[in-house]
Amino acid sequence: MPSKLSPAAQDVMDKALEDNVKFVSLQFTDVVGSIKNVVIPVSGLAEVLEKGIWFDGSSIEGFSRIHESDMFLQVEPASYRVVPWTKNGRATARLLCDVFRTSGEVFGGDPRRVLKNAVDGLMKEFGLTFHTSTECEFFLFAGEGHNSTKPVPHDVVGYWDYSPRDLAAEVRQEVMEALTDLGMVVERAHHEVAVGQHEINIRYDEAMSTADNTLMLKATIKAIAAKNGLVATFMPKPIAGINGSGMHTHQSLFDAKGDNVFYDAKDEYKLSPMAYSFIAGQIAHARALAAVINPTVNSYKRLVPGYEAPVYLCWGQINRSALIRIPHYSPGREKSTRLELRCPDSSSNPYLAAAAMLAAGLDGVRRGLKAPDPIEESAYEFTDEQLAEKGIRTLPTSLDEALDELSRDEVVKTALGGAYNAFVRAKRAECQAYRMQVTPWELEEYMEKI
């Protein structure tokens, strides 16, 4: 029998009893951001809360080699949530876990640990906390009976349209209810630009909570879409010729008094010197950062001019072609001052993405980098000569190119900590697998022509 539990663990036990939970999903992520889990009956929860649970890490991407496969999970009690779509007689609770080695030391390759180390380092060095929010765009496609290689959008309406033809409106509302049940504060949901494309936003929070919530938001949307006979995807570019899906990420730093240190009332853009240096750091490291925040082959089919995806390394306020946008300031909303990094997509591991973004920005702060002049014209309209004249570089055009940039960037490499080697190994393998594919485009283009 377990010994007396800690107050936090006992609180979980009490909630599980009150919620009539039958099963508990113990969750963590692999290096590429896939949720992994082991499900236990609630009768085993007390022992897991006290002692953790062993698992074989040898088959988890980025976790362990065969000869050192045994690892164990320790539960974070504060992460207890009841999964809303499992309430019919088999109520299941979710608990997030940290990964440890057999020796009892923390596993540095655990993506959640990577972000914990980053935010702990920020607090220790600067006395600040990192706040973020993510705008996760996604598509809903027709499900059963349809070919997944030729996706069919679930509706025919457009950006922010209100129409009876927006067949996904009820699905979005069901998702919003589920996210609220999971303890998230949903701010808005709407149809996006492309046919079948949507966005649901949750309120900004400390970076760790946002990363946790981003993973659960994706899982929730996929589960409720499936329940309604649909397929949800966060793939950056599922259909050629229309807008892809991003994960615009809003960032700010707060001090111990709760003040936003990116805010300066006297500045034209209401930004502090620290904010400008943070911008400069992210622009300086953007090409390496891309490997982490745009980490799939498909990511670079979204990052092309003409579809509202930023490819130019510049910043501005009204310029949506820029890498970083400064949302307009509203009087009385000083705490909302933030930098919107527009290139990330939801194929990224949210823990590694946040850690890398923070490291890039802080390098600019440490070195006192000066942000380049803002660009308020559409960079899409610039000629190559104009881009060169203004010193505007572009993001990499492929995952391979981004990984090459990452290999040369010690700041971003260091930010990934123990996850770096496994991440690069997985992504190089992805590039190689893609290179060996023969695509439908190639068959159409070359079969009879050559």
Q: Which residues carry out catalysis?
A: 56, 135, 137, 192, 199, 248, 320, 340, 342
Q: Which residue has the tokens 């057999």?
A: 102
Strand partners of residue 133: 250
**Which residues are CB-contacts of 257 (< 8 A; sequence separation ≥ 6)?**
none
Phi-psi region at 396: left, alpha or beta (left = phi > 0; alpha = psi -120 to 50): beta
CB-CB contact of 365 with 274 (8 Å): yes
Locate 295 and state its tokens.
């980490």
The C-alpha atoms of residue 135 and residue 192 are separated, in whole angstroms, by: 11
Locate 142 and state its tokens.
């027709």
Range 252-257, long-range pairs (CB < 8 A, 24+ positions): 252/131, 252/132, 252/204, 252/335, 252/337, 252/338, 252/339, 253/122, 253/126, 253/128, 253/129, 253/130, 253/131, 253/278, 254/128, 254/129, 254/131, 254/335, 255/127, 255/128, 256/127
The C-alpha atoms of residue 330 and residue 336 are separated, in whole angstroms, by: 9
